[in-house]
A and B are shown apart, each in its own frame.
Chain A
Amino acid sequence: MINKLWFYMIAIAVAFAATGRRLEILTEEIFSSLGAAVELGIGLLGGMMLWCGVLKVAEKSGLVDKISDFIRPLMKLLFRGIPPKSAAMGAMIMNITSNMLGLGNAATPMGLKAMQELQQLNPRKDTATNAMCLFLVVNAAPIQILPATVLSLRASVGSANPGIIILPAVASSFAAVSAGVITCKLLEKTCGGRA
């Protein structure tokens, strides 16, 4: 998908520039935009060192387990069909906790593991279960406690207040997850498939 999108962005740009006789300006832009990317990357390095360093401390201190304990009751409530002590539940909780801490590298493998475990509980192997749909929707709007990349990016362009976005972002995620869960619960009866 992204391959097509990126191609068309460039193709449309060249087509528009050609019809508007702006190809020279476009040439300047091509080189200056990549230069800007390098500048931005250098600015980003400092913030990423800071936040990834702090998050590593959090990871090693067992904060992941603490947050897991905190969300476990909620997960039991949401995923009633899944046994609370099953591998599926464990992987889902780890995935969501990793997402909350912005540990993308840990989140994806755990998410894929959770899908495999959920598939074992699935009677119809080509059709998604209610739990799978719900899990993906919860994944669609992770509540991030520390959005490290965005904070670093804001700091690197000289924001006076990089952290102003944290609480509103958590609130927006929460609104998104709530809407998604409600939609899931409403649609699971009408949208084919069982369990």
Chain B
Amino acid sequence: MNFIIPIIILLILIYGYLNGVKVYDAFIEGAGEGLLITFRILPYIGAMLLAVGMLRNSGGLDFMLYVLRPLTSAAGIPEEVVPLIIMKPLSGSGALGILADILKRSGADNYAGVLASIIMSSTETIFYTITVYFGSIGIKNIRHTLAAAVIADMAGLAAAVLLCRFILF
């Protein structure tokens, strides 16, 4: 599967080249933005690594995972990933911090690391989006939006777990 990355890069560059884009200049511009984005998200990652690290070291996280264990083990979800599943609908940057913690701790290529990466890339921060989007136009009655968004989130999670267990591992 690792062959996919150079191919994606090449295809995008070919497409740009054929369409008259100054590919080198564009790359430089984007790379500069990438640096700025990294600096912008770093405080979020720091704040979340701090909170999760404290929660783990104090024994508080173990306690919460212990309470949730019947649920998570039945669903085949590794414990490390549980905080990510809780955080993802609430805050994208918070979830990114937790993903960083999972990848550092249990590695990127085992079941937990891959599942966490898939969850992070496949669902959005639904509560945040709903609040901001409806808030911006003054909608009070959001009707079935939350129910449908939560079901979508669950379906995405279920698909990620199934794909991980039966295809990748």
Contacts and interface: CB of A to CB of B under 8 A. Distances in A.
12 contacts: A1-B91, A2-B91, A26-B54, A30-B54, A127-B141, A140-B152, A141-B152, A154-B103, A169-B117, A175-B155, A180-B155, A192-B141
B156 A141 contact: yes
Interface of B: 1-2, 4-5, 8-9, 12-13, 15-16, 18-19, 21, 23, 26-31, 33-35, 37-39, 41-42, 45-60, 63, 87, 90-91, 94, 96-97, 99-100, 103-104, 107-109, 113-114, 117-124, 126-134, 136-145, 147-149, 151-160, 163-164, 167-168
Contact of B8 (A22, A52, A146): A146
Contacts of A137: 145, 148-149, 152
Contact of A163 (B4, B28, B30, B139): B4
A9 B117 contact: no
Main secondary structure of the interface of B (DSSP, over half): helix
Contact of A48 (B13, B34, B45, B133): B34
A125 B38 contact: no
Contacts of B152: 137, 140-141, 176-177, 179-180, 183
B38 A41 contact: yes
Interface in A158-195: 158-180, 183-184, 187-188, 190-193
A188 B145 CA distance: 9
Contacts, number: 360
Given A13-B54, A48-B35, A112-B133, A60 B144 contact: no
Given A10-B54, A16-B58, A157-B104, A128 B151 contact: no
Contacts of A188: 143-144
A71 interface: no
A32 to B, nearest CB: 7
A170 B34 CA distance: 23
Interface residues of A, number: 105
Nearest to B62: A16
A78 interface: no
A141 to B, nearest CB: 5
Nearest to B107: A157
Contacts of B163: 168, 171-172
Contact of A125 (B51, B132, B138, B153): B138
Contact of B27 (A9, A16, A57, A125): A57
Contacts of B56: 29
